[in-house]
A and B are shown apart, each in its own frame.
Chain A
């Protein structure tokens, strides 16, 4: 403490707040440590190990720490793996666009509702997404399959003579599955951002003579932009990482990047290459978050556009 004997009455409060601040910092440190230690030991270190391993060499006898760039050369330069990455990005992009088109009108309608109707329809929207996504993907098998509901119905109507085979185990089924499973992550943030708009802004626009279309185009749409951005990022990230949907509905032609990673562990036992593919996939995700981080923070993305 400052040796200022003449101003004891002035230095005392400072000393007290200084001590209090230090105590507060120690408390914060103590409270953060269990969670941060968990994340360091069970997320950071394992992922760091995966990065290290992505430079190792896998043979049929196992994976050895022989440093090389071969795994990344194979992952990024071989047309097969590069095309799969491009395809995964493309499928995710299209899924995001379709989800956006499907979700926006629903989000808008929900935001304009009031009272019980609003609570009820929002809850109805949530409910299916609270159930296992493995189950929600599985339900499409008895719908799209050759003996499934759609084929049975078309046969019954006499529109087709024999079942259509391409409904399932194809890219189309992957799109349907992804959109079905992930739409809420688009609808929710858009709904929340429209719901937040100050009604006086819309009234003001109307009073100044704006027609409903222009009110939507110049007021509501720009103000719902954070929701659109956060929903789009979330659906894109979820689709890029999708494993269950392409594995179950996509057949051999519909598999995406995650499924290729899984193959390295389930069948070919090429851990080092699998680690490299994993680093590439997570790298793509982080790159996107950094690029869009200019407009939207991670917390907003993962909590549905809320700050």
Chain B
């Protein structure tokens, strides 16, 4: 918005502006260099991760897709990601609709919903580890991991849906009510169609957040490893030459879902949420 006032007026680039552009160039190069390097290394026909670049090969990708641990973890991550996204988005949608009304302790409850974002990841993980440990619930994908993921994703899903529902014109709903529609009918035939793009975008962002979640999962995972946990145990153990290829595949999956989410949410003119990570 401030472009109009600060942009060059006489068609000449000021030295300040030039310096700013050079700085931005360095910034973007440094931002992307490590990622570009890992892509280059993923095609390097070498038994060690690193330079010099010997020969182009796609063998590491072929190897990754033949690694059973990777495929199992991928299946786990996709499954838990879809379910966590659906549960979080559903809970967040109802929360967002409820928070449009006025009631007592609204502010405190609002902060409670956002609290998991500021809770350190390790605390979010170990509290579930101890809690379920004492309840006698063994750690597994469909119990502890799913719960940890919904804990983490829910506030973000809420943050993407709430502004959309807040701007929503209540008169439309009231009109439907006045015409005799029951609350469930209002929800199904009025609210849902209007916020559908926002819901789809939230589902995609939620999936991406769940897919990349690591710290909480690390402490509540049993034998069912997710992709980040599997990748972590591999890099901690030994730097094998197929790791860059695996890294590229993992990056592609989460970046693609977020990108589609952004495109969908753009149609609703909502700002996208950066995937927070801890």
B-side interface residues toward A, CB under 8 Å? 1-7, 14, 16, 20-21, 23-24, 27-28, 31-32, 34-35, 37-38, 41, 48-52, 90-92, 94-95, 97-101, 103, 109-123, 126-131, 134, 147, 150-151, 154-155, 158-159, 163, 183, 208, 211-212, 214-215, 219, 227-228, 231-232, 235-236, 239, 243-244, 247, 250-251, 254-255, 258-259, 262, 271-278
Chain B residues with Cβ below 8 Å from A19 are none
Check B127 against A47 for contact (C-beta < 8 Å).
yes
Interface secondary structure of A, over-half rule:
helix
Interface 9-mer from A2-10, A70-78, A142-150 = A142-150
State whether the Cβ of A202 lies closer than 8 Å to any Cβ in chain B.
yes
- What's the minimum C-beta distance from A85 to chain B, rounded to whole angstroms? 13
State whether the Cβ of A248 lies closer than 8 Å to any Cβ in chain B.
yes
State whether the Cβ of A172 lies closer than 8 Å to any Cβ in chain B.
no
A-side interface residues toward B, CB under 8 Å? 24-25, 27-32, 34-36, 38-39, 42-47, 49-50, 53, 102, 105-106, 108-109, 111-114, 118, 121, 123-136, 138-143, 145, 147-149, 152, 180-181, 183-185, 188, 194-200, 202-203, 206, 212, 220, 237-238, 240-244, 248, 258, 261-262, 265, 271, 274-275, 278, 281-282, 285-286, 289, 298-299, 301-304, 306
- What's the minimum C-beta distance from A240 to chain B, rounded to whole angstroms? 7
Chain B residues with Cβ below 8 Å from A102 are 27
Report the nearest B residue to A38, measured CB to CB.
B91
Q: Given contacts A32-B99, A135-B250, are A50 and B126 in contact (CB under 8 A)? A: yes
Interface secondary structure of B, over-half rule:
helix
Check B94 against A134 for contact (C-beta < 8 Å).
no
Chain A residues with Cβ below 8 Å from B32 are 128
Report the nearest A residue to B239, measured CB to CB.
A141
A-B contact pairs, 21 of them (CB 8 A): A25-B101, A28-B98, A28-B101, A35-B92, A35-B154, A39-B112, A131-B254, A134-B214, A139-B247, A142-B239, A142-B244, A147-B50, A148-B50, A152-B50, A152-B52, A196-B1, A237-B118, A261-B123, A282-B120, A286-B118, A299-B114
Report the nearest A residue to B87, measured CB to CB.
A38
